[in-house]
Amino acid sequence: MTRISWDHYFMAQSQLLALRSTCTRLTVGATIVRDKRIIAGGYNGSIAGGVHCIDEGCYVIDNHCVRTIHAEMNAIIQCGKFGVPTDGAEIYVTHFPCLQCCKAIIQAGIKKVYFAENYKNHPYAIELFEQAGVHTEQVVIEETAVKEEKNLSREMLVKLKELGLAEEELDELKKQYETIFNEGVHT
């Protein structure tokens, strides 16, 4: 089995951070990286000690929840709070950054933005990234990881059959495979 790429590794960290989000409209995670080391992470949620959207609903003004701090901002602020420089760093975000986060990323000196999903990619944010020389790149993680997991699972089922696993036990494992991956398997 081959190791996942650095881009997939850091994007997976961002997806994990997104699971901590307290926003009910969109869960986002961000990981700031320098020299292949994670220096900060953030997710979208309320201020420390504040009321959360999951508890009282979103506070929406002009179709935007103003209760939450975006994941990118939380990660950048974390660096500032603990004196960790962001100049020349990279950021991995589960969704394309909004216009305000785009400006914060540029001001923080972050030079590369990797995102998993397009999300209202604002034309001016794209223009600002280009003006500032910030490289943006989409990292598709789910398809690759699931494909590798499917292949490994299929190989393991074939090997178990070759090793003489009882037919009923093999059938049970096949059923689990089919449930997880929503497709049949033939060994």
User: If residue 65 lies in a helix (H) or strand (E), which one and from where to where?
Assistant: strand 64-65
Q: Judge whether 67 and 59 are in contact, CB under 8 Å.
A: yes
Q: Judge whether 14 and 29 are in contact, CB under 8 Å.
A: yes
User: If residue 144 lies in a helix (H) or strand (E), which one and from where to where?
Assistant: helix 142-162
Distance CA 181, CA 142 (A): 13
Q: Residues 72, 130, 137, 143: which is the catalytic one?
A: 72
Distance CA 125, CA 96 (A): 10
Q: Respond yes or no: is residue 72 known to be catalytic.
A: yes
Q: Which residues are designated catalytic?
A: 72
